[in-house]
């Protein structure tokens, strides 16, 4: 069960965005598994994608289409990743995009495809095409929550959040949904995220806003260290509320960016909280690094250690595993006499040595919690980084062992 995460409260409609979902029977016969998102004309769209060299056919096509003209429709399917499928996969993705374009009498380049699910299996494009007329008929401004459910694979909870802020004297809405549970360590710039706002934003500012938001959220999470072939995050601004088009110099631009960042961070943390078999939500703070890369190297070494992750699952204050992970991080000229390590506010290592005031009872009290923060102080500089991860449970092995069965 997801750690401290419940199904979304009411998701607010975004002016200029309509959504629908339908059941195409791609992998399961008893649930919706295809989503269509429509944007108003002149919507500004930014996106970032996986850096996996074996990026899926829909990723390749979405990049190509987005480079040619603004997107109007997003077609998303769960249950099949359409990855590792070669030219046939590209053809299948294009066929689905063409079917959407035909329904709206639009250019095929205005449709972006997205897929999530099993890698290496041919996409049953004919099933997607069959439900596209129904998707068109069902488009609704209130379709956010249904869309969030339809995208799920091994997720146990749909993930969505809304915020409203004042921009240029108008109330602006930001709503986002995401899916992701395993194969999670995005390197973007199997997670998908879609965020929309009714603010008016110029393209360059949108790109900057999304890059900043992703770097502080989706690029700071890891479940298992695996980067999916299909990761994508889309930010759309319909421009249907405020008349003034925001650029990076506008006085309210940072207000919008901060709100987008909060939405992305909540969604990213929700993915970790719903990590496959997760029973713990773990924050890792590393401070005092000589640069950001050094802090992240230490944080991810801790987060990716199976021994550390299983200790968290067992609620075992075996802090030697954390110490060992910090020590093997790729950091040059480590001065251990400057290093402190804490579990929440319980110091386990002070200046490179076991903390004399540490007690097993205090360590156990922290490890019994479902949410834990690991603090590492390197004493080498002024950089600080934070990432979020989960434990490694029996259920993670079971879920992934049975994924195709």
Question: Any idea which residues carry the catalytic annotation?
Answer: 190
152 vs 15: CA distance, rounded Å: 25
Q: Two tokens at 250?
A: 């506008």
Is residue 375 within a helix (H) or strand (E), and if so which, with residue range?
strand 371-377
| 242 burial type by CB count under 10 A (0-12 exposed, 13-18 middle, 19+ buried) | buried
The CA–CA distances, whole Å, from 383 to 155, 247, 284, 290 equal 34, 29, 14, 6
113 vs 68: CA distance, rounded Å: 15
296 vs 294: CA distance, rounded Å: 5
| Residues 6+ positions from 177 with CB-CB distance below 8 Å | 8, 11, 144, 147, 148, 151, 158, 159, 160, 193, 194, 267
The CA–CA distances, whole Å, from 136 to 29, 140, 197 equal 21, 9, 21
Is residue 300 within a helix (H) or strand (E), and if so which, with residue range?
helix 292-303
Residue pair 33/123 in contact by the 8 Å Cβ criterion: no
Q: Two tokens at 294?
A: 């050094």
> CA-based angle 21:133:107, to the nearest 5?
100
Nearest Cα residue to 76 out of 177, 211, 174, 173: 177
69 vs 204: CA distance, rounded Å: 15
Residue pair 280/371 in contact by the 8 Å Cβ criterion: yes
| Residues 6+ positions from 105 with CB-CB distance below 8 Å | none
What is the length of the chain?
405
Phi first, then psi: what are they for 69, rounded to 5°?
A: -160, 160
């Amino acid at each position: 069960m997801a750690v401290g995460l419940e199904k979304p409260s009411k998701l607010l409609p975004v002016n200029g965005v309509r959504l629908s979902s339908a059941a195409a029977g791609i992998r399961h016969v008893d649930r919706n598994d295809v989503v269509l998102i429509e944007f108003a004309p002149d919507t500004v769209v930014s996106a970032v994608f996986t850096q996996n060299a074996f990026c899926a056919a829909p990723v390749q096509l979405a990049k190509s289409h987005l480079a040619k003209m603004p997107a109007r429709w997003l077609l998303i399917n769960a249950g099949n990743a359409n990855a590792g499928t070669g030219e046939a996969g590209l053809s299948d993705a294009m066929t689905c995009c063409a079917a959407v374009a035909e329904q709206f009498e639009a250019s095929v380049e205005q449709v972006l495809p997205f897929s999530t699910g099993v890698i290496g299996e041919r996409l049953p494009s004919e099933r997607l095409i069959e439900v596209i007329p129904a998707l068109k008929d069902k488009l609704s401004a209130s379709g956010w929550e249904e869309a969030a459910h339809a995208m799920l694979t091994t997720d146990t909870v749909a993930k969505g959040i809304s915020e409203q802020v004042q921009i240029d004297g108008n109330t602006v809405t930001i709503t986002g949904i995401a899916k992701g549970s395993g194969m999670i360590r995005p390197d973007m710039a199997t997670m998908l995220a879609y965020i929309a706002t009714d603010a008016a934003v110029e393209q360059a500012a949108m790109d900057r806003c999304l890059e900043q938001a992703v770097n502080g959220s989706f690029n700071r999470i890891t479940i298992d260290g695996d980067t999916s072939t299909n990761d994508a995050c889309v930010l759309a601004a319909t421009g249907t509320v405020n008349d003034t088009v925001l650029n990076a110099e506008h006085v309210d631009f940072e207000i919008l960016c901060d709100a987008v960042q909060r939405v992305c961070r909540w969604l990213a943390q929700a993915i970790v909280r719903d990590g496959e078999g997760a029973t713990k939500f773990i924050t890792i703070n590393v401070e005092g690094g000589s640069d950001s890369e050094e802090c992240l190297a230490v944080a991810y070494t801790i987060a990716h250690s199976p021994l550390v992750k299983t200790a968290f699952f067992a609620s075992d204050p075996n802090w030697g595993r954390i110490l060992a992970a910090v020590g093997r991080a790729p950091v040059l000229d480590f001065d251990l006499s400057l290093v402190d390590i804490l579990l929440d506010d319980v110091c386990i290592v002070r200046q490179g040595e076991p903390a004399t005031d540490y007690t097993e009872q205090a360590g156990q009290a922290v490890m019994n919690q479902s949410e834990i923060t690991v603090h590492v102080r390197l004493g080498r500089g002024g950089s600080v980084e934070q990432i979020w991860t989960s434990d490694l449970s029996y259920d993670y092995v079971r879920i992934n062992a049975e994924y195709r069965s």
